[in-house]
Homo-oligomer: A and B are copies of this chain.
Amino acid sequence: MSSPHSLDAIFKPSSIAVIGASPRRGTIGHELLDNLIRYGFNGMVFPVNPKHKFIKSIKCHPTVSSIVDPVDLAIIIVPKEHVLGVAEECGERGVKGLVIISAGFREVGGEGVKREKALLALKEKYGFRIVGPNCMGVINAEENVRMNATFAPLEPKSGSMAFMTQSGALGVAILLAVARLDLGLSYFVSVGNKLDIAGNDLLEYWDKDENTKIIALYLESFGEPRRFTQLSKKITKRKPIILVKSGTTAAGARAASSHTGHLAGLEIAVDALLHQCGVIRVSTIQEMMDVVLAFSKNPMPRGGRIGVLTNAGGPAIMATDRLVNEDLALATLSDKTQTKLRSFLPEESSVRNPVDMIASAGADEYGRALDIMLADDAVDAVIAIFVPPIMVEPGEVVKKITEATRKYDKPVFSVVMAEEKFYEEIPRRFKDAPPVYRFPESAVRALAAMDRQRKWVEQPEGQVKTFEPEDPSVRGMVKEAVASGGGYMPPDQVNRILASYGFPVCRLRFLPADGDVLQATADVGYPLVLKVFGRNITHKSDIGGVVTGIKNQDMLARAHTDMQEKLERAGVSREVEGFLVQEMAQEGKEVIFGMTTDPKFGPVLMFGMGGKYVEIIKDIAFRVMPVTDIDAREMVRSIKSYPLLEGVRGDERVDIEFIEESIQRLAQMVSDWPEILELDMNPVMVTPDRSACRVVDARIRISSGEELPGR
C-alpha cells in the first residue's frame, strides 16, 4: 500500500495522458483533448487509443505503458468495463493522478458498486489520487498551468473563484453563467462519485491557494460533515464559501439518494452546521451567481449602513424593502452630504436616503452624487439604480459610476434596467465597473451576503469551554450500560451522570414496583413529586403517572394508590418498573435540552422552550459539535420565545447564563461519552435564581456498542 499523493498530482501535472482520446468530433474523447490543447496546457499531452496513430496531429499511444516520458495525470474516458484495467496499468506506470470521466460505478448499483470498490483497492495499492468516477472533469485556470480537462464547450477566464460541483450537469450551467458574467475561475472540479477527492480535500487545497479568493460549492450530500465543520470554520474567516445544497426536502432527498447512492444528511443538522461555520447558503444557482459576482467585483463593506441612489421611485422602494428584510439599514446621510447633493440637484429631488434625483438625472449627476455619498462616513455601501429615460444609453452612467467608485474602498452595486443588448456588452465594455444587476432585489441579495460575511469575519472566534466531571465513577456506569446491551439508563444513574457534569438535578429516590414509597422520603423531603417509571412509558402525566405537590405521608400514600389504579386503567401496569420520589422543583420557565446522534453529523444538540404550545410550534434551536460559547449564546437568543426568558409583563429575567452554561456542559458530556446516543432533559425549570434551577425529568439512551458512530 502506497501513501497517497497530494492534490498537486491532479491539478499541477507536467504531463497528461488522455486515455480514450478520439479524433471524432462530438465525442467526449475528442472534446476533452481539444479543450486541453486549445486552452494551452503548459505541459505535454499524450492521446492514448490503440485504434489511432495520431489525433489532432499528436502521436497517439496504444497504451499508457507505451509512453516513454513520465505521465503525471491520466484522464480516463474508456468504457466502464475497461476502467479497472486502465487504472491498474496507470498504477504500474507510476501515474500520480486519475480523472475518471467514465460512468457506470456506484451510481448504477449492482456491478457498478463492485467496480467502484475494486477501484478503491487499486487507489490504496498504488497511492494515486482520483477525481470521479462519473464526473465531467477538472480545470486549473492558473496562467502557468492552463489545464482545461473538461468537455464543456467553453474557455474559462483565469480568476479568483474556485468552484466544486457534485452534479456535472449543474457544473455546465455554472460554467455558462460564469462565462456570461465574464467572471474568472481559479479551479473548477466536478467531483462525480467522490470516490477519493471530495469537497473537504478541495477546501483544504483551495485554502492554501493564493489565487483563490472565493469558494463556491454545489453539494447534494456531505461526505464527512465533521471535517467540513473544522475546515470551513477557519477558511470562511479568510475566504467566503458560498454553497448551494440541494436535497433539502424528503422527496428531494429521495431523488438525491437515487442519484448519488447516498442518504441525504439530516436537514436540521445541515442548517446548524452551515450557520456555525459561516458558510453563505443560497438556494439557487441564480442566487449563487448574484453573490459571487459581488464578491468578485467589490471590496468588503465595513458596515451595514446602505445608501440608495436612484432616478426613479419604484425600484428604490423595492430595494429599501429588501434591505430592511435582510437586516441591513438605510444610512442616515450627514447634513453636509445632503447640502452638497442639494447644491446641484433639482428642487423636486430628494436628498435624504434614498436619494432620488428624479428622471432628469444624467451620467454626470450619477457620478457627482455617488461620489458625495461614498465620501460620507455614515455610508458603508451604495446601491445605484438607473432606469434609462428615453434615448439615454446607460453606458455613460455606468462609466461615471465606475469613476466615482474607484476613488473609495466601498462596495457599489449598480442596478440598470435596460435592453438585453446592454447586458450582453457589460463584460467587454465595462471591465472595471462595479457589479451590474438587472433588478434591485438581486443587488440587495448580493449585498446582504457580503454583509453576513463581514459580520462573520468580525465576530470573535467562539471558545469551547471545558468542564471536568466531578464524579469519576460515572465512567464505570456508562461502560457497564454498554456492556449490558445499552438502552435507557435507570433514572438514578441518569441523575448521577448529570450531577457529575454540574447539572442541578432533583433529589431523588428510585423504588422498584413493589417497594415501599413511604420509606423513600427521607432523602428527598416534602413537598415532593411521585412519578411512575418505565422505559416504555411516555407522556407520563397524560395517564396520571405524575402527582406533584405532595406535602405529607398521607397524601403520598393516597397518591401512590390512585396512581396504580390509573395506570391499571390506562393499560400500562405491565410497563411499570418502579416509582420515583423526587424533590419538587420551584415554579419557573420550562426549557428543554436535548441531544440526538446523526450517523454522519454526530451529536446534534437541541435547546428550546418547554410546554405544549412550544412543542407544537417547534420553537427550538440546533447546533452540531463543537459548540462554543458564542454558539450557546446564539442558540438561546435565536428561539422566538426568547423574550419570555428575558421576562415579559413584569416577570423576572431567568438566569440565562445558566442556560448558556448548561448547553456547554451538555456539549462537554456528549463529547466525553460517545456512548450516549440520545439525551433529553425535559423539562428543566429555570428561575431567576440559579440555585433554584432544576432538571425535573431526564432520559439518556446508551449505545449497545454496535451502532456507535466513529467519533
Contact = CB atoms under 8 A, between A and B. Distances in A.
A417 B172 contact: yes
A284 B255 CA distance: 29
A325 B317 CA distance: 28
Contacts of A25: 391
B259 A356 contact: yes
A311 interface: yes
Interface stretch (A399-407, A577-585, A639-647, A684-692): A639-647
A644 B619 contact: no
Interface in A236-283: 246-252, 254-256, 258-260, 283
Interface string A1-45: 000000000000000000000000110100100000000000000
B313 A108 contact: no
B321 A539 contact: no
A337 interface: no
Nearest to A109: B348
Interface stretch (A196-204, A478-486, A521-529, A606-614): A606-614
B324 A250 contact: yes
Q: Which of the listed residues A153, A256, A438, A613 has the most CB atoms from chain B within 10 Å of its own CB?
A: A613
A653 to B, nearest CB: 14
A378 interface: no
A424 interface: yes
Given A167-B314, A315-B170, A320-B252, A614 B613 contact: yes
A612 B255 contact: no
Contacts of A595: none
A251 B619 contact: no
A273 B316 CA distance: 25
A667 interface: no
B612 A611 contact: no
Given A172-B388, A285-B439, A330-B251, A648 B313 contact: no
Contacts of A418: 176
Contacts of A28: 390
Given A323-B251, A613-B611, A616-B648, A315 B284 contact: no
A104 B246 CA distance: 51
A286 interface: yes
Contact of A248 (B107, B180, B246, B321): B321
A176 B650 CA distance: 57
Interface in A40-95: none
Given A255-B313, A616-B648, A649-B542, A441 B283 contact: yes
Contacts of A644: 612-613, 616
A686 to B, nearest CB: 15
B640 A167 contact: no
A313 B134 CA distance: 12
B441 A260 contact: no
A514 interface: no
A170 B316 CA distance: 10
A180 B350 CA distance: 33
B312 A168 contact: yes
A475 to B, nearest CB: 37
A169 interface: yes
A188 interface: no
Interface in A625-666: 640-641, 643-644, 648-650
A388 B153 CA distance: 11
Given A611-B613, A616-B641, A176 B255 contact: no
A387 B643 CA distance: 49
Contacts of A167: 312-315, 317
Interface string A421-444: 000100000000000001101100
A390 B152 CA distance: 7
Contact of A441 (B286, B350, B611): B286
A176 B107 CA distance: 44
Given A330-B251, A616-B643, A542 B172 contact: no
A176 to B, nearest CB: 6
B176 A260 contact: no
B387 A172 contact: yes
A588 B347 CA distance: 62
Nearest to A420: B180
Contacts of A173: 315, 387, 417, 439
A37 to B, nearest CB: 16
A58 to B, nearest CB: 20
Nearest to A264: B317
A441 B284 contact: yes
A383 B499 CA distance: 57
Contacts of A104: 348
A354 interface: yes
A137 to B, nearest CB: 11
A378 to B, nearest CB: 16
Interface string A588-622: 00000000000000000000010111101101000
A47 B166 CA distance: 63
Contacts of A246: 314, 317-318, 321
Contacts of A424: 420
A189 to B, nearest CB: 15
Contacts of A348: 103-104, 107-108
List 10 A-B pairs, minimum CB-CB distance, nearest first: A167-B314, A169-B312, A259-B313, A252-B321, A169-B387, A249-B324, A173-B417, A26-B391, A170-B314, A613-B613
Interface of A: 25-26, 28, 31, 103-104, 107-108, 151-153, 165-170, 172-173, 176, 180, 218, 220, 246-252, 254-256, 258-260, 283-286, 311-318, 320-321, 323-325, 330, 347-348, 350, 352, 354, 356, 358-359, 387-388, 390-391, 417-420, 424, 438-439, 441-442, 539, 542-543, 609, 611-614, 616-617, 619, 640-641, 643-644, 648-650
26 contacts: A26-B390, A104-B348, A168-B314, A169-B313, A169-B359, A172-B388, A173-B387, A218-B314, A220-B313, A249-B321, A251-B320, A251-B323, A252-B321, A255-B317, A255-B354, A256-B313, A256-B317, A259-B313, A259-B317, A284-B441, A539-B650, A612-B649, A613-B644, A616-B643, A616-B644, A617-B617
